Amino acid sequence: MKIRCIANTGESLPEKYIDPPRGYTRKVELPLTIGKEYVVYAIREWKGTIWYYICNDNYSYYPIHNPAPMFEVVDSRVSKYWRFEVSPNGLLMIAFEQWFTDPYFYDKLTDQEEAEVEIFDKVKELMDAEDFDLPPLDVAVKKLRENVSV
Amino acid sequence: MNQGAIPDESPRNLLEQLLLENAKAGNCRVIRRGTDIFLGDAPRLIAVYGGNYKDWDKMTSSEAFEINGASVQVHWFRNSQTLQEVEFKFKRQYPKTAPKNL
């Protein structure tokens, strides 16, 4: 999945994204370049707000969440590495497998723990190079039927 | 595992000092929200500083400075209810091929 930045300040954000104690004010300016495309490594949905985890212009070793209204989707095909989880509190996360294997994976990644940084390095490399090209529907079905034994 | 308070890390140079001051002045945002799944550090933070599991977030400086070959950010914990900020530390990420001595 790829997105393109269409805004990089809090001015354009819907009210439900504004959260001053957590740094999201109308004045906030995020390290994003308008017009630039970013690969999405994870998605978070919480109480009607959607956040994309991307490697922004300050990227050094971990992806960080950004409000969805700051982007338009330019490639809506989803990664084969993604898994889906809904927590009892209603939090919806879509992310790669290792994110869920350890509930504190992202804590450790942002803490710069070597193993988690290495995992994200690998995941990023795979997702950046992911090939989404699929054969036309007829070709795919024909191939499938040829391989199915009755 | 450390069970007590972790002291703030001191900046190593003027640029890190500026980065820290900039972050403390409000140029920051949340990385991890305690309302999602509580932080791994939350039990320790509550024991030391008080508050509840959902209150403690992990923050980052909005800016990252290139300092001596490393990309440097500041991370810390903030209580979203009281706005108490604790345990500032610098995250220095070096390119994989670069030497790690300053």
Question: What is the tens place of the pLDDT at every residue in B51-60?
Answer: 999 999 999 9
Strand, helix or coil at B54? helix
- Average pLDDT on A17-37 reads 95
- Average pLDDT on A63-90 reads 96
Given a contact cutoff of 8 angstroms between Cβ atoms, the answer to whether B74 and B90 are in contact is yes
> Choosing among A16, A25, A50, A58, which should be mutated to test the B contact, i.e. which has the most B CBs within 10 A?
A58
> What tokens were used for B46?
């509550």
Which residues on B lie below 8 Å from A89 (Cβ)?
35-36
Given a contact cutoff of 8 angstroms between Cβ atoms, the answer to whether B15 and B67 are in contact is yes
ipTM over 0.85? The verdict is: yes
Residue B68 Cα to chain centre, angstroms: 20
Nearest to A46 among B28, B36, B57 (CB): B36
User: How high is the pLDDT of residue B3?
Assistant: 80
Q: Point out which residues pair with B44 in neighbouring strands.
A: none
Q: Given CB atoms, is A21 within the 8 Å cutoff of chain B? A: yes
Backbone φ and ψ of A74, nearest 5°: -110, -20
Q: For residue A66, what are the contacts with CB-CB under 8 A and spacing of at least 6?
A: A30, A32, A51, A52, A53, A54, A56
- Count of residues in chain A: 150
Among chain B, residues having any CB pair with chain A shorter than 8 Å are 26, 28-33, 35-37, 39-41, 57-60, 62-64, 71, 73, 75, 78, 80-81, 83, 91, 93
Q: What is the pTM of this model?
A: 0.91
Which residues on B lie below 8 Å from A110 (Cβ)?
31-32, 58, 60, 75
Helices marked H in chain A: 97-101, 105-110, 114-128, 137-147
C-alpha atoms less than 13 angstroms from C-alpha of B60 in its C-beta half-sphere: 25
Share of residues in chain B with pLDDT > 90 (%): 86
- Closest by CA to B72, choosing from B23, B35, B4, B5, is B23
Torsional sign, CA B68, B73, B74, B76: negative
- Closest by CA to A105, choosing from B10, B51, B32, is B32
Nearest to A60 among B29, B33, B71 (CB): B71
> Choosing among A89, A110, A113, A125, which should be mutated to test the B contact, i.e. which has the most B CBs within 10 A?
A110
> What tokens were used for A143?
């191939």
Q: Which residue of B has its CA nearest to A10?
A: B29
Over its C-alpha atoms, chain B yields an Rg (Å, rounded) of 14
Nearest to B28 among A23, A65, A110 (CB): A23
